[in-house]
Amino acid sequence: MNKYVFGLTGSLLVFTLLVVGPSYALSVGQQAPGFILNDTQGQAFGLFQLKDRPLTILYFFDVESQSSQEGLLSLAHLVKKYPQLDMEVLAITLSDKELTTDFVKRTSPGFPVLLDDSEICEEYGARKILPTIYILGPGQKILEAIQGGGKTTEVFLLRLAERTLQRNKPQLAQALSEPLQSDQRENFAAAKLHAYAAMQQGDLARAEETFLALAAQSGQGKILGKEGLVMVYARKGEAQKALALATEVEQLAPERAFIHVIRGDIYYRQGQRAKAETEYQKAVAKREADLLQKALALNKLGQIEVDKGNYQQARKLYDRAVELDPYNVEALTNKGISYEKEGNWDGALQASRQALAIEREDTFAAVLAKNAEEMLKLQKDHLQQQRIDDLVKELSERQKNSVGTDSAELDNWTSGPMVMTFVDFAEKGGLAERDGLATVLTTQLGDLLNRSGRIKVVERTLVNRVLAELGIGTSALADTETALKIGRVLAAKLIATGTLFYLPDRTMLSLRLIDTETSAIQMVASLDIEPGSPLEQHLFRLNRDILETVMTKYPLQGYLVETADQQVLINLGERQGVVLGTTFEVLDQAETKSFQQKTLRGAAKVISHIEISKVEPELSYARILDNNQALQQGLKVREKIQKGDNP
């Protein structure tokens, strides 16, 4: 959804090199030549030291030039004010060492100022016209080059804001471009940037207002405004209105690619997948399309190829998308998912690490990397593989032979471990920008639940191996009975299943928690995941709701094993999820009365309360809080759930 932000300056952002100099000046898309230079104190700095950084600025300047100084000081201000930019800066000058040293002492820019002997400035075409600014992206490829005085700083700010928005940092992009907001009627690029930033944060009303103002202009502003409105209407679910306006934009600007991407999304949600694919292909074919628009369409086409099982072809499309848009983390993680679906964990890990190098806090990439690392580790751990193989065979044999436990041997009171498993969620609606949302949700939520100690989530590896052993495809898990069957095979008390609905303006999650023994639905939860909302907040809420359900509907139960004056021992421990501070009620045997030759049993009475003070794997010690009568071995205990408890 965030990658809808592109082409912010319309035809102005064609990635054209603005350097006017020697014939060997560098080109956009080229690898930035490496160098090692000394600063004013004689310390050496090399460009290779920044090879893993997602954004690097090379600022070539003249220390005696007023415009050069102003630009450098503006850059220094940005670095200090916005550390979240995750940006490295190297300033390079041919100026006199003494003058440069004095300037650095007076201004303290906060980044290295390097002295050149003319070789590097020559290679970068940065001798005759200064300042010259290069923006380097992942892999130190040249993304932008800006040269000259006058409005150089303004142009640089806009380009930097665009790249920041491209990296899914809308609030920061708006802050960077704030100096450009004073006259957005003339600066179409700044106006469009703010509209897309608003949309990226889910503020459709503000985006629509800005696009309407642009559409009221003439020429390029009118086209950009109407194009933006097509997207707004599509996000609002007004498909026919969006399609009608898209036709109008196409007549005004036949080579614009964006409307074809939006049409493709609308057709996909309507189930017209062939028409959607055709629209995405049209977007890629447009001669004057912005590169980021093509990258977005290529990512969509890659996902369609994955759905067809054409993983190699999908990866070619993803690679083309990243070539056009070096910050396309979505295409990289989608590429990783394609490897994962083939069982190629080396490829999945490489793709996820490439994504993390661009955006270190990307949740999708982090989860994918974690899963890949665990699978690669398992492949090397032969003992662990054998353990899982044996367990899978045991579980599948239990299912095939319907082996159960003799009811005479069952302790119907004592709680066992609360085991839970996730099964793949059904996915409906539009084409999500990123594959693997269900995997990310279940992996992250599983980690939270496991950390609680109360619930043990079956590891994903074991679930997949059982499915393979029983010959059940993941698509079959959409059937509740099949999902329950898998839950029983895995000896899970609860299964979590549900559906992801990809809507124009958000993703809806519907989750159900089902008891595998009774088939009763114990919890229903729904979430609206809106653009820009942190996924972690939704996961914490789900974690809390699931724990609350388990604690309320499955309170821990056990027996007194030993009793003393001030302390007792119960037959529950870490294995069942007991934690320090848990309070239990001690229950007296229920009274029985005879009536008309029948034995009637009353409710058990609470005779004491105990609080856990020490926990062992299968036993716990508790101190006695109150005591109405002598406590004896064999009395039942039941967890006391206080109203308002925060699990």
DSSP secondary structure string for all residues of 13-53: -S------S-TT---TTSBPPP-EEEETTS-EEEGGGGTT-
Are β-strands 620-627 and 557-563 bridged in parallel, bridged antiparallel, or unpaired? unpaired
Q: How far apart are the first and last CA of the chain?
A: 33
Average pLDDT over residues 177-188: 64
List b or e across 150-181, with b for residues whose CB sees 16 or more CB atoms inside 10 angstroms. Answer: eebbbbbbbbbbbbbbbbbbbebbbbbbeebe
Question: Domain boundary residue among 529, 553, 577?
Answer: 553
Answer yes or no: do 504 and 487 share one domain: yes
What local confidence, expressed as pLDDT, does residue 534 receive?
78
Report the C-alpha gap between 75 and 81 in whole angstroms. Answer: 10
Answer yes or no: do 536 and 488 share one domain: yes
Answer yes or no: do 519 and 615 share one domain: no
Report the C-alpha gap between 265 and 432 in whole angstroms. Answer: 9
Question: Domain boundary residue among 553, 571, 594?
Answer: 553
- pLDDT for 135-156, tens place per residue? 999 989 999 898 876 677 788 8
Please state, for a pLDDT cut of 90, what percent of the chain lies above it.
47
Measured CA to CA in angstroms, residue 275 lies from 264, 270, 302, 461 at distances of 7, 10, 15, 37
- The strand pairing partners of 611, in sequence order, are 583, 623
Predicted confidence (pLDDT) at residue 398 exceeds the cutoff of 60? no
Predicted confidence (pLDDT) at residue 17 exceeds the cutoff of 80? no
- pLDDT for 79-130, tens place per residue? 999 988 889 999 999 999 999 999 999 999 999 999 998 789 999 999 888 8
Answer yes or no: do 525 and 621 share one domain: no
Please state, for a pLDDT cut of 70, what percent of the chain lies above it.
84
Measured CA to CA in angstroms, residue 462 lies from 469, 486, 488 at distances of 10, 11, 14
pTM surpassing 0.85? Answer: no
Higher pLDDT, 54 or 290: 54
Answer yes or no: do 598 and 514 share one domain: no
Answer yes or no: do 480 and 530 share one domain: yes
- In a domain, residue 96? The reply is no
Answer yes or no: do 429 and 530 share one domain: yes
- In a domain, residue 483? The reply is yes
3 closest CA partner among 447, 433, 478: 433
Predicted confidence (pLDDT) at residue 203 exceeds the cutoff of 70? yes
Report the C-alpha gap between 544 and 100 in whole angstroms. Answer: 58
Answer yes or no: do 584 and 611 share one domain: yes
- pLDDT for 349-379, tens place per residue? 999 999 999 988 888 899 999 989 988 887 7
- In a domain, residue 452? The reply is yes
What local confidence, expressed as pLDDT, does residue 21 receive?
38
What local confidence, expressed as pLDDT, does residue 595 receive?
66
Q: Determine which of 25-34, 217-226, 585-594 has the lowest per-residue pLDDT on average.
A: 585-594
**In CATH, what number is assigned to the domain containing residue 472?**
3.40.50.10610
- In a domain, residue 482? The reply is yes
Question: Domain boundary residue among 530, 553, 576?
Answer: 553
DSSP 450-491: HHHSS-EEPPHHHHHHHHHHHT--GGGGGSHHHHHHHHHHTT
Predicted confidence (pLDDT) at residue 550 exceeds the cutoff of 90? yes
Judging by beta carbons within 10 Å of its beta carbon (0-12, 13-18, 19+), is residue 451 exposed, middle or buried? exposed
What local confidence, expressed as pLDDT, does residue 318 receive?
97
CB 473 within 8 A of CB 402: no
Which residue, chain included where needed, has tokens 């036709």? 247
Predicted confidence (pLDDT) at residue 480 exceeds the cutoff of 50? yes
Average pLDDT over residues 427-444: 87
Cβ neighbour number for residue 399 with a 10 Å cutoff: 17
What local confidence, expressed as pLDDT, does residue 9 receive?
39
Q: Determine which of 69-73, 421-425, 512-516, 576-580 has the lowest per-residue pLDDT on average.
A: 421-425
Average pLDDT over residues 502-523: 89
Chain centroid to Cα 266, Å, comes to 24
What local confidence, expressed as pLDDT, does residue 6 receive?
42
546 closest CA partner among 564, 525, 562: 525
Report the domain count for the chain. 2
Answer yes or no: do 423 and 438 share one domain: yes
Answer yes or no: do 527 and 458 share one domain: yes
Report the C-alpha gap between 590 and 609 in whole angstroms. Answer: 17
Average pLDDT over residues 491-509: 87
- In a domain, residue 88? The reply is no
Average pLDDT over residues 44-49: 93
Joined together, the tokens standing for residue 516 give 């595998």
Report the C-alpha gap between 502 and 354 in whole angstroms. Answer: 26
Measured CA to CA in angstroms, residue 610 lies from 317, 374, 548, 554, 587 at distances of 63, 41, 21, 19, 11
516 closest CA partner among 537, 548, 489: 489
User: Which domain, by its residues, includes 613?
Assistant: 557-639
Determine the 3-state secondary structure of 634 from DSSP: coil
Which residue, chain included where needed, has tokens 């070619």? 316
Q: Determine which of 461-470, 561-570, 625-634 has the lowest per-residue pLDDT on average.
A: 461-470
Report the amino acid identity of residue 135.
I
Measured CA to CA in angstroms, residue 307 lies from 349, 369, 431, 555, 558 at distances of 21, 22, 11, 43, 49
Report the C-alpha gap between 97 and 94 in whole angstroms. Answer: 8
Higher pLDDT, 426 or 521: 521
Higher pLDDT, 306 or 12: 306
What local confidence, expressed as pLDDT, does residue 533 receive?
74
Report the amino acid identity of residue 227.
E
HSE at residue 377, side-chain half, CA atoms within 13 A, is 7
Answer yes or no: do 604 and 507 share one domain: no
What local confidence, expressed as pLDDT, does residue 516 receive?
86
Answer yes or no: do 499 and 562 share one domain: no
What local confidence, expressed as pLDDT, does residue 67 receive?
87
- In a domain, residue 488? The reply is yes
- In a domain, residue 513? The reply is yes
- pLDDT for 224-252, tens place per residue? 999 999 999 999 999 999 999 999 999 99
- In a domain, residue 589? The reply is yes
